Amino acid sequence: MTTRSVIITGANAGLGLECARAILAADESWHVVLAVRDPQRGAAAVAELGTPDRCTVLPCDLASLQSVRAFPAVFAEAGLPPLHALVCNAGLQIVSGLQQTADGVEMTFGVNHLGHFALVDGLLEHLVAPARIVLVASGTHDPEKLTGMPHPAYTSAEELAHPQPGAPIDGRRRYTTSKLCNVLFAYELDRRLGHGDRGITVTAFDPGLMPASGLSRDYSPAQKVLWRMVSPLLRVLPNVHSVATSGANLAALAVDPRFAHVTGEYFEGAKPIRSSADSYDTAKARDLWDTSERLAAL
């Protein structure tokens, strides 16, 4: 008999699916809500997980604020156990030029940050203490780390949402900057929730490099071939994991009693570490928060 719900965005594949699998295996009291853009793919994921009585698929398109705003009511009407955890996992990397969300926001920023920002805002009233929010970030947000990715470039949240016409578009840099936004948001949310005083903890999570993940789906055919050739060789480097290993680490942050009172921390795998210098910049965090509120019309 399930008594608690956890919502995982992007849970139909990759890291989100493995996180769901680990939660289901760890504790029978959890009911997993797969918040996904495509309910058919969500249903296929539930079939793969093999526990249909402990899973529910609900539609949530992070590239549409209308869909995100509707989600809390959809969850409330589903009659599921009380919500005790939210895992903001879904993400994408666009390298084929400039794309926009349904609301005219640059796609990488819109999905990786703004959609989750609006989702968290809408679900706060549904979270029942003790509760946890986990935001999936990336070590690529830190220019001090050797990741092979361009360093993030946070100018302003408005510029990230609406790039100036003619400005150069580097999709990989926009991805790493969106991951910086995830950490800035996590820390600012934790501050505004009183560092756990309201019974809600907030953590950010770096899953490490996962060669088998789907973040390369927007690469060109030649880039995909190169990635498939190179990625197996990367497993000898530090902080490179299988999707299953990273999924288990993410699940632990969401539900494991060991992390019940941990908040305002950034985790690399299973251990807390310092995030980038920019991630502690409160001026950037306030700019991101205020602009996100305006863009999401909250």
Buried b (16+ CB within 10 A) or exposed e, 84-97: bbbbbbbbbbbbee
Bridge partner residues of 134 (DSSP):
87, 203
Helix H or strand E encompassing 202: strand 200-206
- Which residue among 154, 175, 187, 266 is the active-site one? 175
187 is catalytic: no
Burial class (CB in 10 A: 0-12, 13-18, 19+), 191: middle
The Cα–Cα gap between 35 and 38 comes to 9
3-state class of 210 per DSSP? coil
CB-based contact 247:18 (threshold 8 Å): yes
CB-side neighbour CA atoms (13 Å) of 137: 30
Which residues are known catalytic residues?
A: 175
